[in-house]
Structure 1
């Protein structure tokens, strides 16, 4: 017995730390934290991409509505320019620079449709600048429907 210690403290045992576990608990916690951080970053990126596409959709629909007030020939030209800008924004210059049938295929791929290769949308690939091109009635409504699906 130690005469310097009070009697109650003399009965205490020394502190014994557990044996080293090899650091596996720390590695597991780090893996969990990294997984959570990666999931959070992925969610943020998906959210930003969705917001960007929704913004593009709103702008395209507004511009399409403004083009609807133009005379038929000018309206088709404005719609064609809008389609080029939209393709450039969403898929890049290589897609937007295509001509003829390749342009129709690119538009169909962009909008997941066959409107531009087999439907009335061919006016944007075949006969846009020809005089006397008839004004296909369903084109305006179909373009509005297709634009509304961007990013949806």
Structure 2
């Protein structure tokens, strides 16, 4: 071969090979590497923080929807307002897994619908006659919704 003939061609190759280093094994890793341990700890801290803050970011959709519906019901005339508040209490009961607004008393540990002003929303709802004062029922529903954690 023309490139490998003679002593002149072997000298540059040997000079280039002399400059190469031998193979070395990488340094032995320690059992606990602080950079990896710090990354794992930071990841776990971020995951814990995300789990703790997730309910706040979601904004408690049942309570938010119920408060919006309560605000819309306040703009209605008294007979329609009474029906809208009764629908709200029934929908809230179903959302929380109970059948009737009276079941909300047990679920929320109150007597608002059984003995309180919420009775106007459950007893004789469509009976003829004057509409009871709904201000106490609205205020009581607002208090119940303020303490709701759903």
Aligned residues: 127
Alpha-carbon distance between aligned partners in 2 of 1:75 and 1:28, rounded to the nearest angstrom: 60
For residues 106 and 141 of structure 1, do their structure 2 counterparts lie closer, same or farther at Cα, with a shift above 3 Å needed?
closer
Say if 1:50 and 1:151, in contact at 8 Å, map to a contact too.
Answer: no
Q: CA deviation at 1:53?
A: 5.4
Gaps of 5+ in 1: 1-14
Say if 1:116 and 1:125, in contact at 8 Å, map to a contact too.
Answer: yes
**Alignment TM-score, normalising by the size of structure 2:** 0.58
Q: Which residue of 2 aligns with 1:106?
A: 104
**Alignment TM-score, normalising by the size of structure 1:** 0.58
Q: Deviations over 1:33-79 (max 9, x none)?
A: 33123123214412223363563254133223123xx233x322111
Larger Rg, first or second structure (1 or 2)? 2
For residues 62 and 136 of structure 1, do their structure 2 counterparts lie closer, same or farther at Cα, with a shift above 3 Å needed?
closer
Alignment equivalent of 2:132, drawn from 132, 135, 140: 135
For residues 143 and 106 of structure 1, do their structure 2 counterparts lie closer, same or farther at Cα, with a shift above 3 Å needed?
closer
**Aligned-pair RMSD on alpha carbons?**
3.7
Gaps of 5+ in 2: 1-23
For residues 129 and 61 of structure 1, do their structure 2 counterparts lie closer, same or farther at Cα, with a shift above 3 Å needed?
closer
Alignment equivalent of 1:39, drawn from 44, 48, 66: 48
Where in structure 1 do 4 or more consecutive aligned residues deviate above 6 Å?
none
Say which SS state the counterpart of residue 74 (structure 2) adopts: helix
Q: CA deviation at 1:31?
A: 3.1
